[in-house]
Structure 1
Amino acid sequence: MKTFILRRLLHTTLILLAASLLIFLLYALMPGDFITGNVKLTDEREAELREIYGLSDPVLERYAVWMGNALQGDFGYSLQQQKPVLTLFNEYIGSSFLLAITSTILTWLIAVIVGVISAYKQYSWFDTIIVIFVFAAMSIPSFFIGLFFIKIFAVDLKWLPPGGMITTGSNATGFAYVKEVLHHMILPVAVMTLLGVGSLTRYFRSNVLDVIRQDYIRTARAKGLKERTVLFRHALRNAMLPAITMIGFELPALFGGSLIIEKIFNWPGIGNLFMQSFTVRDYPLLMGLTMLIAIFTVIGTLFSDLMYRVADPRVKLQ
């Protein structure tokens, strides 16, 4: 186990170095930047700013400086927000985690229960409805569902707020503030859950269908065990093993999957900040956010491998 972890940490370091170079070159070689896109600047002021921020230096030299600062915890300075990138992370990451973790828990809970029942009642009317819903949820774009929900529940029925994290001008504190945030969370969480539950339900349904045909399931039923025990203690436990590998990808998906949703609902999170930075070509902030997602990706992959070993002791990590 120790040898495996050390080897994976070495591989992770090399992958992150390669990813950092690719991310930097991707943004550095793109035409234009925040300074050239600002029409209010004179040529002299533009040249002065490019010199101050080192944008006139060779690309590889700029990468070496950026990477050296990143290793010390400095991912640069946002030209639009006029704040360090890490400071912006601290300000916005909590809101993104709140949305993403809530939707992830609901998605997995619904997918596990519905997937198991759908597999158990294969070809029934319930299974047919679930299959239709799954393919519909996987086919409809996220922006369409988000705008449709706003139209129905916020504009027509006026049950829920159309966006934001709190009501404009609100001075709520304590429990009133928590209640207000939860009220604003309902629509974006519902959309994110709806988008994620389709593919995950299909995945669990397929796994459970494979497992319940195994001999040990027939043996468990022959022993007189209750069907609920057979399904959720024996079948689901083994069907969950392949799904563990997906947990590692949930960590970067906490941010990547909420980019459009946060923008649609004007949620003050990392995703909304990322979309705003694209419009003004704030590359230092974009590089920092992209690197953050890359770090979460490799950490999540390592975590899923370790979790698979814990869940199934028969697996040997080499």
Structure 2
Amino acid sequence: MSSYLLRRLLYMVLILAAASLFIFALYALMPGDFVSGNLRLSAERKAELREIFGLNKPLLERYGTWMNQALHGNFGFSLAQQKPVVTLFNEYVWNSFLLAIVSTFFTWLIAVIIGVISAYKQYSIFDTLVMIFIFAAMSIPSFFIGLFLIKVLAVDLKWLPPGGMTTTGSNATGIAYIREVLDHMILPVVVMTLLGVDSLTRYFRSNMLDVIRQEYIRTARAKGLKERVILYRHALRNALLPAITLVGFELPGLFGGSLIIEKIFNWPGIGQLYMQSFTVRDYPLLMGFTMFIAILTVIGTLISDMLYRVADPRIKL
């Protein structure tokens, strides 16, 4: 176990080093930047800012400076927001995490339950309705679903707020603030759950169909075990093994934000900030966020490999 973790950590360091060079070169070699694209600045002010932020230095020297700062937990300074990148992460990423963790919980819960029942009752009316709903949800764009729910539930029926994280001008604190945030979360969480549950349900359904045809399932039924025990204790545990791979990719998704959903519902998350940074070419923030996602990805893959061992002791690391 220890030798395996040491090897994986070494691979992670090498991968992140290569990723950092690629990310920095990708943004640094793009034409233009925040200073040159700001039409309100004079030529003298632009030259002064490029000197202050080191934008006129050679590429490798800038990369070395950026990496040295990143190793000390400093991903640079956002030129557009006039704040350190890490400070912006702390302000926005937890809002995205709140949406993502709640929607992910409901997505996996619903997908597992429906996927198991649909596989057990293959070709039944329930299975047919589930497949129709899945293909319908996959064919409708997320922005249409979001705008439709806003129109019906927020504008027409006035049951829920149309967007934002809190009511404009609200000074609520304590329990009142929590309730206010929960009310504003309902619509984006519903949309994110609908978008994620369709493909994940198909995934669990296909895995369960493969597992329940195995010989050991027939043996368990021949021994007289209850169908519920067979499905959830024996079949589901083995059907979850391929899904563990998806867990590793959920980690960057939890902190990466949903670009479209946050924009539609005006949710102050990292995804919306990321899109705003693109429009003004705020490359320090873009580089820092992309590197942050790369770190979460390699950590997520390591967690997936470890979970394989936990779920199935036969698997050797």
TM normalised by structure 1 equals 0.97
Question: Any gaps of 5 or more consecutive residues in structure 2?
Answer: none
1:257, distance to aligned residue in structure 2 (A): 5.6
Deviations 1:270-313 (A, max 9, x none): 11111111111111011111111111100000000001011111
Q: Tell me which residue corresponds to 2:6.
A: 6
- The answer on whether the counterparts of 2:78 and 2:282 sit within 8 Å (CA) in structure 1 is yes
**Given the alignment of the two structures, is residue 271 of structure 1 paired with residue 258 of structure 2, yes or no?**
no
Once structures 1 and 2 are overlaid, which stretch shifts more, 271-280 or 198-207?
271-280
Q: Percent identity?
A: 78
Task: Please give the alpha-carbon distance, in whole angstroms, between the structure 2 residues aligned to 1:23 and 1:52.
Answer: 22
Once structures 1 and 2 are overlaid, which stretch shifts more, 242-251 or 223-232?
223-232
Q: Tell me which residue corresponds to 1:174.
A: 174
Deviations 1:220-242 (A, max 9, x none): 11222211111111110111111
Distance 1:244 1:257, change over 3 A: same
Task: Please give the alpha-carbon distance, in whole angstroms, between the structure 1 residues aligned to 2:58 and 2:132.
Answer: 54
Q: Tell me which residue corresponds to 2:18.
A: 18
Deviations 1:61-87 (A, max 9, x none): 111110111011110001111110111
Deviations 1:224-275 (A, max 9, x none): 2211111111110111111111100100122446122112111111111111
Task: Please give the alpha-carbon distance, in whole angstroms, between the structure 2 residues aligned to 1:205 and 1:6.
Answer: 37
Q: Tell me which residue corresponds to 2:191.
A: 191
Task: Please give the alpha-carbon distance, in whole angstroms, between the structure 2 residues aligned to 1:189 and 1:111.
Answer: 15
Deviations 1:97-137 (A, max 9, x none): 11000000000000000000000110011111111222222
1:204, distance to aligned residue in structure 2 (A): 0.2
- The answer on whether the counterparts of 1:263 and 1:275 sit within 8 Å (CA) in structure 2 is no
Q: Tell me which residue corresponds to 2:31.
A: 31
Q: Tell me which residue corresponds to 1:77.
A: 77
After the TM superposition, which residues 38-187 of structure 1 pair with which residues of structure 2 at under 5 Å, given as runs?
38-187=38-187
The secondary structure found in structure 1 opposite 2:266 is coil
After the TM superposition, which residues 195-206 of structure 1 pair with which residues of structure 2 at under 5 Å, given as runs?
195-206=195-206
Q: Given residue 115 of structure 1, which amino acid in structure 2 is its aligned partner?
A: G
Q: Given residue 11 of structure 1, which amino acid in structure 2 is its aligned partner?
A: Y
Task: Please give the alpha-carbon distance, in whole angstroms, between the structure 2 residues aligned to 1:7 and 1:136.
Answer: 45
1:25, distance to aligned residue in structure 2 (A): 1.0
Once structures 1 and 2 are overlaid, which stretch shifts more, 140-149 or 195-204?
140-149
Q: Given residue 50 of structure 2, which amino acid in structure 1 is its aligned partner?
A: R
Q: Tell me which residue corresponds to 1:231.
A: 231
Task: Please give the alpha-carbon distance, in whole angstroms, between the structure 2 residues aligned to 1:82 and 1:191.
Answer: 33
- The answer on whether the counterparts of 2:142 and 2:261 sit within 8 Å (CA) in structure 1 is yes
Deviations 1:120-179 (A, max 9, x none): 110011111111222222232222222222222222222111111000000111111100
Once structures 1 and 2 are overlaid, which stretch shifts more, 267-276 or 147-156?
147-156
Q: Tell me which residue corresponds to 1:297.
A: 297
1:39, distance to aligned residue in structure 2 (A): 0.9
Q: Tell me which residue corresponds to 1:252.
A: 252
Question: Any gaps of 5 or more consecutive residues in structure 1?
Answer: none
Distance 1:170 1:186, change over 3 A: same
TM normalised by structure 2 equals 0.98
Q: CA RMSD in A?
A: 1.1
Q: Given residue 73 of structure 2, which amino acid in structure 1 is its aligned partner?
A: G
Task: Please give the alpha-carbon distance, in whole angstroms, between the structure 2 residues aligned to 1:99 and 1:203.
Answer: 23
Q: Tell me which residue corresponds to 1:282.
A: 282
1:4, distance to aligned residue in structure 2 (A): 1.0
- The answer on whether the counterparts of 1:50 and 1:56 sit within 8 Å (CA) in structure 2 is yes
Q: Given residue 165 of structure 1, which amino acid in structure 2 is its aligned partner?
A: M
Task: Please give the alpha-carbon distance, in whole angstroms, between the structure 1 residues aligned to 2:295 and 2:145.
Answer: 30
